[in-house]
C-alpha cells in the first residue's frame, strides 16, 4: 500500500489525529496518522489589533479563523487523498501562551482578550514577584488579573473563570475548563514537581486581592491542570458545529489537554527531557531549557514553566521575533509587484536570508532594533522599530538583511546569557518555526547568537499545529510511556534534521553586534518618548 493509500485509509477509518494552533499571525491545522506523518494541513492569516491601547483578538475572529483553517485542512486532505474526514481519533488545541481571558459565571467575556504582547502590567508583576518569591512575567494571566485590581477595573468583581486562548477554544469544543500543565504554568506559578498551582502563591494572591478590596479566591477561577496523555473531555455536538458549521464533523472524538505554543514547540522538537532545549521563532521568539534543577535565584529574564508532562523548564521569552523582518520582506514583495515581476514570500525570504549570509556577522556596524512591542528582557515597556548605522557603514542589502536577522535573536541572546550565569546547561538547541524554511541561514545566526549547536528537524516549518496533533496522538498511543520516550520511539525516530555548529568568527561577530544593540537601548527609550 502506498503512502497516499495509507493516508486515505486512515482518514476513512476516522483514525487521523487533528492539531490546531492559534499563532500570532496564522491559525494552522494539521492532520497526522499514528506515526506523526502529515496527512494534510490548512491555515489562515489573522492579525491582532489595538483595543483601548491593548493588543487583542476578537473572539469572533477566533471562531471564524478556526473555521477557515479547518476548511482549508479538509480541502487539502481531500485533494491529497480523495477522502474528506468526518471524524477523528483525537483532537488537540494549542495557542499563544499567557494573556488574559476573563469570564463571568454566565460565560460572558468581561473585557477584550489581552494578549501576551501587552506590557502594562509592570506594577502587578513586580508586586507578585516579591510576594511569591517566583518571577511573574508581565504577560502571565495572574499579572493581568492583579493589574486589573490595581487599576480598579470594574469587571474584576464579576470574574468567575480565567483561562488562556487555548483553554477558551478547548472549552468551546468540549465544555471543559481545563489546561495542560505547560499552558497553566503561564497562568499561575506551579508547585514544583506537581500538577498543581503553588499553594503558597495561591494564599499570597488571596491576601493581595483582599488588600485591593476583593474577596477573590484565585483557586476557584483557575482552570484545572492536566498532564499530557490525560483525557480532557470529548468533542461535543456544539463543539463540532463551532469548528465545522457545514455539519459534516461528528462529535465524540477524545481531546487531549490544551497547550501553549511553548509546549507544542517542545514536542515538535523532542526537547522534553532534562538538558534539552528548543528555540521557537515566530512573532515572538523564545527558548525552553528543560531543567535538572530550578535556578537558585529569581531572575526577571527567566520564567519557570513546565513541559506538557510536568517537568520544570526555564523559559526565556522575547516579545519581538521575526515580525519586523517579515514587514521588511513584505516591502520587497510589493516592490517586485510594482516592478512588474511579482515573486512569492518564500522566494523573497530565500533572497533576503541568502544576502544576509554574505555579510559580516556584525553587519558591518549596521544595527536593527526590531521592537514592535515592549521587550521586558531588555527593560523596554514599549516598542519602536529602528535601524541605525555609523556614517561609514555601507547600507547594502546584505548588511541590512543581516542586521534584521541578528535582531531576531538579540533579546534571546541576552536572556540565554542570564540563564548560563545560573549554571544551567543545555546539550543542544533544536529550532523550529517558519523562519527555518530557508535552509542554512537563520540557524547559522542562531548558533552564533547562542554559541551552541543548533539542530533543525525537517518538521520545523510545520511548527506547533503538528506538535499538537502529536500530543493528541499521545493520548491514544502513550500507553504509560513518558512523553520523551514516546516521541523518541514512535514519532521523531525517522525525522531527518540538519545540524549547525557555531563558527568562532560568527560568534565573536555576533557578540559585537549584541554589544552595540545593548548600547543602543537608550536610543529606543528616546524614541518611545519622542514618538508617541
**Per-residue pLDDT tens digits of the chain, which is 532 residues long:** 788 889 999 999 999 999 999 998 899 999 999 999 999 999 999 989 988 889 899 999 999 999 999 999 999 999 999 999 999 999 999 999 889 999 999 999 999 999 988 889 999 999 999 999 999 999 999 999 999 999 999 999 999 999 999 999 999 999 999 999 999 999 999 998 889 999 999 999 999 999 999 999 999 999 999 999 999 999 999 999 999 999 999 999 999 999 998 899 899 888 898 888 999 898 889 999 999 888 888 888 888 999 999 999 999 999 999 999 999 999 999 999 999 999 999 999 999 999 999 999 999 999 999 999 899 899 998 999 999 999 999 999 999 999 999 999 999 999 999 888 888 878 789 998 889 989 999 999 999 999 999 999 877 666 789 999 999 999 999 988 999 999 999 998 877 889 999 999 999 999 999 999 999 999 999 999 999 8
Strands 259-260 and 90-95: parallel
d(CA 6, CA 16): 11
Q: Extract long-range pairs of 373-376: CB within 8 Å, 24+ residues apart.
A: 373/55, 373/117, 373/119, 373/319, 373/320, 374/117, 374/119, 374/138, 374/319, 375/318, 375/319, 375/320, 375/411, 376/119, 376/137, 376/138, 376/300, 376/319
Cell of 152: 480598579
CA dist 481 → 327, 443, 504 (Å): 43, 32, 40
- Say if CB 102 and CB 482 are below 8 A apart: no
Q: Which domains does the chain carry?
A: 99-163+188-221 (3.30.420.40)
Could you please report the per-residue DSSP string of 341-352?
----HHHHHHHH
d(CA 372, CA 327): 11
Cell of 269: 522538537
d(CA 78, CA 255): 23
> Which DSSP symbol is given to 250?
P
d(CA 298, CA 304): 10
Q: Which helix (H) or strand (E) holds 95?
A: strand 90-95
Residue with cell 469548528: 243
Q: Which helix (H) or strand (E) holds 50?
A: strand 49-51
- Say if CB 457 and CB 492 are below 8 A apart: yes
Cell of 39: 496527512
pLDDT at residue 13 in the model: 96
pLDDT at residue 461 in the model: 62
d(CA 274, CA 393): 43
pLDDT at residue 462 in the model: 62
pLDDT at residue 322 in the model: 94
pLDDT at residue 25 in the model: 87
pLDDT at residue 460 in the model: 64
pLDDT at residue 404 in the model: 97
- How deeply is 497 buried, as exposed, middle or buried, from its count of CB atoms within 10 A (0-12, 13-18, 19+)? middle
d(CA 85, CA 458): 26
Amino acid at each position: 500500500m502506498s503512502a497516499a493509500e495509507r493516508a486515505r485509509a486512515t482518514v476513512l477509518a476516522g483514525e487521523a489525529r487533528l492539531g490546531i494552533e492559534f499563532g500570532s499571525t496564522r491559525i494552522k491545522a494539521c492532520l497526522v496518522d499514528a506515526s506523526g506523518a502529515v496527512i494534510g494541513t490548512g491555515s489562515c492569516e489573522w492579525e491582532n489589533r489595538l483595543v483601548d491601547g491593548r493588543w487583542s483578538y476578537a473572539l469572533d475572529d477566533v471562531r471564524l479563523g478556526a473555521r477557515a483553517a479547518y476548511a482549508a485542512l479538509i480541502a487539502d486532505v481531500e485533494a491529497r487523498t480523495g477522502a474528506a474526514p468526518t471524524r477523528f481519533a483525537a483532537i488537540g488545541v494549542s495557542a499563544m501562551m499567557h494573556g488574559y481571558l476573563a469570564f463571568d459565571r454566565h460565560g460572558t467575556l468581561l473585557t477584550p482578550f489581552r494578549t501576551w504582547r501587552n506590557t502594562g502590567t509592570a506594577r502587578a508583576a513586580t508586586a507578585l514577584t516579591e510576594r511569591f518569591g517566583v518571577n511573574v512575567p508581565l504577560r502571565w494571566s495572574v499579572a493581568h488579573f492583579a493589574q486589573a485590581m490595581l487599576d480598579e477595573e470594574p469587571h474584576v468583581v464579576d470574574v468567575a473563570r480565567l483561562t488562556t486562548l487555548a483553554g477558551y477554544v478547548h472549552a468551546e469544543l468540549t465544555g471543559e475548563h481545563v489546561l495542560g500543565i505547560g499552558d497553566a504554568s503561564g497562568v499561575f506559578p506551579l508547585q514544583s514537581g506537581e500538577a498543581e498551582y503553588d499553594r503558597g502563591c495561591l494564599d499570597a494572591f488571596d491576601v493581595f486581592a483582599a488588600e485591593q478590596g476583593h474577596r477573590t479566591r484565585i483557586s476557584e477561577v483557575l482552570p484545572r491542570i492536566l498532564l499530557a496523555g490525560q483525557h480532557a473531555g470529548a468533542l461535543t455536538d456544539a463543539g463540532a458545529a463551532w469548528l465545522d458549521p457545514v455539519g459534516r464533523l461528528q462529535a465524540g472524538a477524545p481531546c487531549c489537554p490544551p497547550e501553549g505554543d511553548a509546549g507544542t514547540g517542545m514536542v515538535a522538537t523532542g526537547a522534553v527531557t532534562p538538558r534539552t532545549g528548543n528555540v521557537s521563532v515566530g512573532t515572538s521568539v523564545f527558548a525552553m531549557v528543560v531543567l535538572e534543577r530550578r535556578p537558585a535565584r529569581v531572575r526577571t529574564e527567566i520564567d519557570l514553566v513546565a513541559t506538557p508532562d510536568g517537568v520544570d523548564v526555564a523559559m526565556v521569552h522575547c516579545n519581538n521575533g521575526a515580525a519586523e523582518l517579515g514587514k521588511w520582506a513584505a516591502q520587497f514583495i510589493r516592490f517586485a509587484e510594482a516592478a512588474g515581476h511579482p515573486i512569492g514570500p518564500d522566494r523573497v525570504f530565500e533572497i533576503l536570508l541568502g544576502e544576509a549570509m554574505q555579510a559580516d556577522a556584525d553587519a558591518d556596524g549596521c544595527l536593527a532594533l526590531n521592537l514592535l512591542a515592549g521587550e521586558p528582557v531588555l527593560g523596554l515597556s514599549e516598542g519602536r522599530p529602528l535601524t541605525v548605522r555609523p556614517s561609514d557603514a555601507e547600507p547594502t542589502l546584505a548588511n541590512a538583511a543581516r542586521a534584521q536577522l541578528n535582531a531576531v535573536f538579540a533579546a534571546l541572546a541576552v536572556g540565554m546569557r542570564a540563564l548560563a550565569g545560573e549554571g544551567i546547561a543545555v546539550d543542544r538547541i533544536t529550532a523550529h518555526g517558519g523562519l527555518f524554511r530557508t535552509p542554512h541561514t537563520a540557524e547559522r545566526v542562531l548558533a552564533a547568537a547562542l554559541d551552541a549547536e543548533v539542530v533543525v528537524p525537517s518538521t520545523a516549518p510545520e511548527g506547533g499545529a503538528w506538535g499538537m496533533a502529536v500530543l493528541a496522538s499521545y493520548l491514544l498511543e502513550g500507553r504509560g510511556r513518558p512523553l520523551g520516550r514516546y516521541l523518541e520511539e514512535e514519532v521523531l525516530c525517522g525525522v531527518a534534521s540538519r545540524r549547525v555548529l557555531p563558527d568562532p568568527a560568527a560568534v565573536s561577530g555576533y557578540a559585537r553586534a549584541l554589544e552595540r544593540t545593548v548600547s543602543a537601548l537608550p536610543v529606543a527609550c528616546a524614541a518611545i518618548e519622542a514618538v508617541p
